[in-house]
Chains A and B, each alone.
Chain A
Amino acid sequence: SYELTQPPSVSVSPGQTARITCSGDALATRHGYWYQKRPGQAPILLIYKDTERPSGIPERFSGSSSGATVTLTISGVQAEDEADYYCQSPDISGAYPHVFGTGTKVNVL
């Protein structure tokens, strides 16, 4: 399997915008997915197929894609958004498995 690279951490003040990138060769042709993981809690699917938001996910979470990078944007960051965020994607063939990125810790200052 291959790797998806994320920055280890992103720091942002409340009300500001956080952007988390995820890079991997397969992302040039395959979709990316984003999850939020808080300590002691199960992961939550935030974004699927690069830009789609499941029902119940706040509008401040959005996704985009450009080249071999997908980006999760959190607009108007709130204290409760402090968590780890993981991207996910299949490899370039599109088949299983769908590996996870290295993870990014969002620190709300």
Chain B
Amino acid sequence: QVHLAESGGGVVQPGRSLRLSCAASGFKFRSYGMYWVRQAPGKGLDWVAVILYDGSKGYYAESVKGRFTVSRDNSKNTLYLQMNNLSAEDTAVYYCAKEAPGDDYSGLDVWGQGTTVTVSS
């Protein structure tokens, strides 16, 4: 069964760091691009970062560029999001999501249940 499970969320003070993990199972993790998407309280979905299937390149939303780093360990079937210099605006539920199979982009077909990050003093 295809499954994604995020972990690592919590309450953190402004300016501090946090690392999120996303454990994948039930599919060939190393074959798919992976996304981090967040939803702040009362707001819409916002893409945060995406990483290519082989980890060779990551892309970032302007709001997190220079502070967040996406990475993956294909030997451990795990996706990561290192978040530094956090601010209140980063408070959100963070989801990892898998790209659907296909020769080109076919959407995000599997999502984790999300992990909550709260940035507060």
With a CB–CB cut-off of 8 A, which chain A residues contact B105? 31, 90, 98
A61 at the interface (CB under 8 A from B): no
The answer to the question of B107 belonging to the interface, with a C-beta cut-off of 8 Å to chain A, is: yes
Are A45 and B108 in contact, CB atoms less than 8 angstroms apart? yes
Task: Tell me the B8-47 residues at the A interface (CB within 8 Å).
Answer: 37, 39, 44-47
Complex Cα distance, B106 from A22, in Å, reads: 18
- Give the contacting residue for B46; candidates A41, A42, A100; CB below 8 A: A100
How many residue pairs link A and B with beta carbons under 8 A? The number is: 62
Which residues does chain B contribute within 8 Å of A102, judged by CB atoms?
A: 44
Majority secondary structure, B binding face: strand
Contact A96 B59 (CB under 8 A): yes
Cβ-defined contact, A35 with B45, below 8 A: yes
Interface size class of B (residues with CB under 8 A): 20 to 34
Chain B residue nearest to A54 in the complex (CB): B109
**Cβ distance A22 to chain B, nearest Cβ, rounded Å:** 12
Residue total for A at the interface (Cβ-Cβ under 8 A): 27
- In angstroms, Cα B106 to Cα A108, docked, is 29
Q: Are A45 and B107 in contact (CB under 8 A)?
A: yes
Main secondary structure of the interface of A (DSSP, over half): strand
Alpha-carbon distance between A64 and B111 when the two chains are bound, in angstroms: 24
Q: Which of B45, B61, B107, B109 contacts A103 (CB 8 A)?
A: B45
By the criterion CB–CB under 8 Å, are B108 and A43 in contact? yes
Tell whether B83 is near chain A: CB-to-CB under 8 Å.
Answer: no
The answer for the CA separation of A37 and B106 in the assembled complex, in Å, is: 18
A84 to B44 alpha-carbon distance, docked (Å): 9
In residues 29-78 of chain A, which contact B (Cβ within 8 Å)?
31, 33, 35, 37, 41-45, 47-49, 52, 54
CB neighbours of A37 from chain B (8 A) = 39, 45
Q: 8 A–B contact pairs at CB < 8 A?
A: A33-B108, A43-B37, A43-B95, A43-B108, A45-B107, A54-B107, A98-B50, A100-B44
Closest 7 CB pairs of A and B: A42-B111, A48-B107, A103-B44, A33-B107, A100-B45, A96-B59, A45-B107
B contact residues vs A (CB 8 Å cutoff): 37, 39, 44-47, 50, 59, 61-62, 95, 97, 100, 105-109, 111-114
